[in-house]
Amino acid sequence: VLLDDQDRIGLARNEAWVGRVAEVLAEGPSLRNPRRWSGRNGQGKIVVFAPVEGLKAGSGVRVRIERAKPQTLYGVIEYRGMTS
């Protein structure tokens, strides 16, 4: 029951990101799907996205969030390189 509540709350919080752009620090290939990359936004949320050519771990990317799950955000790279 507690885990169900945690998933429900996590999903509600993550769904608030859908449609927004997150600045993400790319970490490398996703553990579950090596054709995708993952990274973390400034709040530490995991973001999964399709990589672009030349992307390296440690690069900053702007990712438009398209969908959410309780523990993970999914999106597409909108811009490579983060603004300061």
| pLDDT at position 60 over 70 | yes
Fold topology of 2-80: OB fold (Dihydrolipoamide Acetyltransferase, E2P) (2.40.50)
pLDDT on residue 45: 96
- The residues, any chain, with a CB within 8 Å of residue 61's CB and separated by 6 or more, are 23, 24, 26, 39, 49, 52, 55, 77, 79, 80, 81, 82
- Each domain of the chain, given as residue ranges in start order, spans 2-80
| pLDDT at position 81 over 70 | no
| pLDDT at position 84 over 60 | no
pLDDT tens sequence across 2-55:
788 899 999 999 999 999 999 999 999 999 999 999 999 999 999 999 999 999
Instruction: Annotate 29-42 with DSSP letters as a single string.
Output: E-SS-TTSEEEEET
pTM: 0.87
Residue 10 phi/psi, 5-degree rounding, is -60, -40
